[in-house]
Amino acid sequence: MPQYILALDQGTTSSRAILFDRQGQVAACAQQEFPQHFPQPGWVEHDALDIWTSQLACARQVVKQAGIKAGQVAAIGIANQRESTIVWDRATGEPIARAIVWQDRRTAGACDRLRAEGKAHLVGRSTGLELDAYFSATKLAWLLENVPGARARAERVELCFGTVDSWLVYKLCGRHVTDVSNASRTMLYNIHTLRWDPALLDLFGIPAAMLPEVVKSSGEVGQAHEEWFGRAIPVTGIAGDQQAATFGQACYDKGMVKNTYGTGCFMLMHAGYVPPVSRNRLLATIGWKVDGRVDYMIEGSVFMGGATVQWLRDGLGIIRQSKEVEPLAMSVTDSGGVMLVPAFVGLGAPHWDPYARGTIVGMTRGTTAAHIARAALEAIAYQSAELLEAMQKDAACPVTEVRADGGAARNDLLMQFQADLLGVPVVRPKVTETTALGAAYLAGLATGFWTSREEIAALWRAERRFEPGMPLERRAALMARWTRAVAHAKGWAEH
């Protein structure tokens, strides 16, 4: 009997593959970083073939590392960076250009023009999203207009559009599909009718024939070809990375909240079974579709989370490895009044300012690399605190805890400061790879590897609980200072 689920966790800066056993524990893990391309200021691109080759290599490596045969893998689940946009030749499978990454801001001007034409309401009403360059629609429109011959080829049904999940399924199985959670992030999918929206396709000039079939999040979509693992393995789970992490954190009841500290930070609250409406510039999005039922979420998105630490490493060079940031930040008692606003690719929720840029304020002659490192970590927490504040205003019920995951959730200094700012406990699970775990759970539910959400929820275990200890007055003063710093970052880039 198969004893494992293989989860493919395709992220913004790296591809990972993790084997999970029946207890939801990690049996083997492999990871590969792949190149990032920044051809112009505000542009972020990936080579889609780098995504595929790194992901396949990791998947093969964990099977080998665990010393098992492909027949011992019950199914494959996929979690992926969302909104990133890929167009490829339907016949050859070759990308027609680099993928435009979710962080890319090149279409901010197009969004401004549509907003000036009064189209933001149409987008929000149908999709639950802000009219923003973050999402896939304007990226796809840009590729159709700027890659020679692309529009004519699309209209001849020669091209496929997909987010990263679609791309991986196409390469693994030869099918052109996406799940509802990823479809809901394209700015083309109506979360009320659960259909591609004809009015939005017309607005953005997208030929419907390019679009993938939309499937549920848990259920077989195809068989990974025998050539990849020596035996065909069913692909039975798909979700965008943040929805997958929410599923992996067992946030199955209305009002439960998780925050993922990855490249960006993404806070999701379970909102029930009808599309929610945010009055505080958060997003309404589909969490997953399982057993015929759609679960909806309210989401807040921070574009620069752990990527801020990468910038300290690769941009400033004040650390050599990301893990060095915590001891460096702890070498000082506080940030010395320094505030770092990491708006390197604009600001996400609740500001939605594509023209904001990274800013450091409050420096003196006494400012050191340690103060900047601490300010960088604290910036991650400040941004997430803004999200929870907006979420609490939207929600009918108070938030009692936040379940944290992602690479930066292993940072104790950050987690304690986050609890202090939020004023509610932050709980770190024993398994912090919850994005991959959620993809595994979705895949396993479809095959009977796990039988129910209740069984999965019983597997969730807390590793550490960070209790808030900061006085309310201090918390309010710090958030007020953060608001002042953000004001300096807003609207900086010319447009």
Torsion of CA 89, 93, 96, 102, to 10 degrees: 110
Q: How far apart are CA 22 and CA 27, in angstroms?
A: 10
DSSP H or E stretch at residue 241: helix 241-248
Q: Which two tokens stand for residue 471?
A: 């006085």
Asked whether the beta carbons of 101 and 12 are under 8 A apart, the reply is: yes
- Of 19, 16, 26, the closest CA to residue 68 belongs to 19
Q: Which residue has the tokens 């009002």?
A: 255
Known binding residue 260? Answer is: no
In angstroms, the first-to-last Cα distance of the chain is: 59
Q: How far apart are CA 315 and CA 27, in angstroms?
A: 35
Sheet containing 462-466, strands listed edge to edge, beginning at the edge strand earlier in sequence:
283-290, 293-302, 265-272, 257-261, 402-405, 426-429, 462-466
The backbone torsions φ and ψ at residue 486, rounded to the nearest 5 degrees and listed phi first, read -60, -35
Beta-ladder partners of 405: 260
What is the number of residues in the chain? 495
Known binding residue 85? Answer is: no
Asked whether the beta carbons of 119 and 111 are under 8 A apart, the reply is: no
Asked whether the beta carbons of 85 and 136 are under 8 A apart, the reply is: yes
CA atoms within 13 A on the CB side of 163: 34
Known binding residue 134? Answer is: yes
Known binding residue 126? Answer is: no
Known binding residue 364? Answer is: no
Known binding residue 83? Answer is: yes
Residue 379: helix, strand or coil by DSSP?
helix
Q: Which two tokens stand for residue 17?
A: 């593959």
Known binding residue 31? Answer is: no
How many Å separate Cα 96 from the centre of its chain?
Answer: 24
Q: Which residue has the tokens 């997909």?
A: 162
Residue 21: helix, strand or coil by DSSP?
coil
Known binding residue 242? Answer is: yes
Known binding residue 333? Answer is: no
Asked whether the beta carbons of 318 and 373 are under 8 A apart, the reply is: yes
Q: Which two tokens stand for residue 429?
A: 């699970």
Known binding residue 84? Answer is: no
Q: Which amino acid is at 326?
A: E
DSSP H or E stretch at residue 467: none
Known binding residue 252? Answer is: no
User: Strands 257-261 and 402-405: what pairing?
Assistant: parallel
DSSP H or E stretch at residue 198: helix 198-204
Binding positions for glycerol: 82-83, 134, 241-242
Binding positions for sn-glycerol 3-phosphate: 12, 82-83, 134, 241
Binding positions: 12-14, 16, 82-83, 134, 241-242, 263, 306, 310, 407, 411
Binding positions for ATP: 12-14, 263, 306, 310, 407
Binding positions for ADP: 12, 16, 263, 306, 407, 411
